[in-house]
Amino acid sequence: MPATAQAVEMLQIAARAADDKGGEDLIGLDVSGPLPLVDIFLLVTGRNERNVGAISDEIEEKLLEAGHKRVRREGRQEGRWVLLDFGDLVVHVFHEQERVYYSLERLWKDCPIVPIELPARSAAEPAPR
């Protein structure tokens, strides 16, 4: 059973929030087949511990504003890998080194990719830092 419309909506909100804080290499994976309690994983890379924290805080804030409840949050103090569990959507915000080490894309390679729609930036607009 593919991801629900609500999970896809949550993914878009979280992806825009991550992008606004400089999140890189955003990937949405439909894990609803192998994982009955989760529809989508969002994988995001932050450049450093501070950036990982800022990205995860922004994602959490935007999803809460949209009326979605957080089930669990782990890893915030270390700033190397933050997990945000919103039920249908689980967000993994990684430091670059952890993203490579754990390689969740490889682990879940058989899962379909869920397209992420981000606002286009003009050439004059700098990437967020």
Q: What is the CATH number of the domain that holds 41?
A: 3.30.460.10
Residue 85 forms part of a structural domain: yes
Residue 79 forms part of a structural domain: yes
- The whole domain housing 105 covers 5-114
Q: Tell me the pLDDT of the chain (129 aa) as tens digits.
A: 789 999 999 999 999 999 999 999 999 999 999 998 999 999 999 999 999 999 999 999 999 999 999 999 998 778 899 999 999 999 999 999 999 999 999 999 999 999 999 987 655 555 555
> In this structure, what token pair is assigned to residue 104?
């969740």
Contacts of residue 38, defined as CB under 8 A and 6 or more positions apart, other chains included, come to 31, 32, 87, 88, 89, 90
How many other C-beta atoms can be found within 10 angstroms of the C-beta atom of residue 36? 9
Model confidence, pTM: 0.90
Residue 125 forms part of a structural domain: no
**Are 78 and 62 a contacting pair, CB within 8 Å?**
no
Place of tokens 């994983």: 41
